[in-house]
């Protein structure tokens, strides 16, 4: 049953551009980008027990590197993307060295402070980032000679990257390293007594999480063809965190459902409801009250109860 649902969902996602208009194709693309970002944050929050409010740093930094290299220094999209991913991953490694000196609330505040530094630099370094005006003139890449300018082609490209990201992160959390990460999250002292290095496990996870946030940043900047300091803002980090918590942290499907919910409310419901943030807050309140572990774990428990009560 589960495999059948996965196959049907995959077919519907692939075929979506064939029966949807341009608006819904673009909306679905934005949802997929938000999903990759939330899944990367879930590695820290759900599996590592490290709540971060600065994860948008890597998405925004990745986008800015590509935009600056392509528009100001004449780099091609391929080389710029590669440099962007390397630079973002190195930045995550450096930020991890600083943030992992603390845990809990202190860790959260350090990640927030570091992200605010990048956000401030994006606003102040106008000669490089163009400040509040942002950077325009970004073109989409041509992977294997295929143009991504059409909404359909870019959607399929984003869907492919999302599927690869989901698979890679699923393998990561289900591996022996993922098991040790969950052990460090739950019993760090016991894991250290068993010979593991909790700090190193957390640091490597921090780097891997930043890598995938950088991938989301590449898709973000190629989709919008524009980058602005708000991409580094605390609002973007908070929306990703909200998606992880609402969907169910520490699960593979939770961030997918949660990020889709937040993204749809932000990009679709906001067109009809002026104060969509209030609606999001109300929905989140209902989730906390009736499904405190998140939508996916809560729905799973509800289905199990229904199946058990059936004769």
- C-alpha atoms less than 13 angstroms from C-alpha of 203 in its C-beta half-sphere: 15
pLDDT for res 103: 87
| C-beta neighbour count of 56 within 10 angstroms | 30
The mean predicted confidence, pLDDT, of the chain is 91
Average the pLDDT over 188-202 and give the result: 94
d(CA 91, CA 136): 24
122: pLDDT strictly greater than 60 = yes
Written as six digits, the tokens of 255 are: 């961030």
Average the pLDDT over 96-115 and give the result: 93
Distances (CA, A) of 241 to 46, 125, 158: 10, 28, 21
| C-beta neighbour count of 122 within 10 angstroms | 26
**pTM of structure:** 0.94
Using a 10 angstrom Cβ sphere, with 0-12 exposed, 13-18 middle and 19 or more buried, the burial of residue 74 is: exposed
Contact 61, 217 (CB under 8 A): yes
The 10s digit of each residue's pLDDT in 229-282 is 999 999 999 999 999 999 999 999 999 999 999 998 888 877 777 777 788 888
pLDDT for res 232: 93
pLDDT for res 191: 94
Distances (CA, A) of 288 to 231, 246, 298, 308: 28, 8, 10, 25
The 10s digit of each residue's pLDDT in 124-150 is 999 899 989 999 989 998 888 888 999
């Amino acid at each position: 049953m589960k495999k059948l649902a996965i196959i049907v969902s995959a077919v519907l996602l692939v075929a979506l551009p064939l029966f949807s208009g341009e608006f819904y194709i673009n909306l679905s693309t934005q949802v997929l980008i938000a999903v990759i970002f939330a899944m990367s944050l879930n590695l820290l929050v759900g599996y590592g027990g490290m709540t971060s409010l600065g994860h948008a740093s890597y998405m925004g930094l990745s986008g800015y590197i590509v935009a600056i290299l392509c528009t100001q220094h004449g780099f091609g999209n391929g080389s710029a993307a590669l440099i962007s991913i390397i630079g973002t991953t190195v930045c995550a490694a450096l930020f991890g060295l600083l943030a992992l000196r603390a845990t809990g609330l202190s860790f959260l505040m350090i990640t927030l402070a570091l992200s605010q530094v990048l956000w401030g630099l994006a606003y102040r370094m106008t000669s490089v980032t163009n400040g509040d005006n942002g950077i325009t003139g970004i073109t989409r890449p041509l992977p294997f000679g295929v143009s991504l300018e059409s909404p359909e082609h870019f959607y399929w490209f984003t869907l492919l990257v999302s599927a690869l990201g989901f698979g890679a992160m699923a393998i990561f959390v289900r591996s022996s390293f993922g098991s040790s990460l969950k052990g460090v999250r739950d019993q760090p002292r016991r894991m250290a007594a068993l010979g593991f290095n909790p700090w190193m496990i957390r640091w490597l996870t921090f780097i891997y999480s930043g890598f995938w946030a950088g991938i989301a940043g590449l898709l973000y900047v190629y989709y919008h063809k524009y980058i602005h300091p708000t991409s580094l803002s605390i609002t973007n980090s908070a929306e990703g965190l909200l998606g992880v918590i609402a969907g169910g942290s520490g699960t593979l499907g939770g961030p997918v459902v949660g990020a889709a919910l937040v993204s749809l409310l932000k990009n679709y419901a906001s067109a009809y409801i002026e104060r969509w943030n209030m609606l999001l807050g109300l929905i989140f309140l209902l989730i906390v009250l009736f499904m405190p572990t998140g939508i996916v774990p809560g729905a799973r428990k509800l289905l199990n109860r229904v199946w058990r009560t059936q004769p």
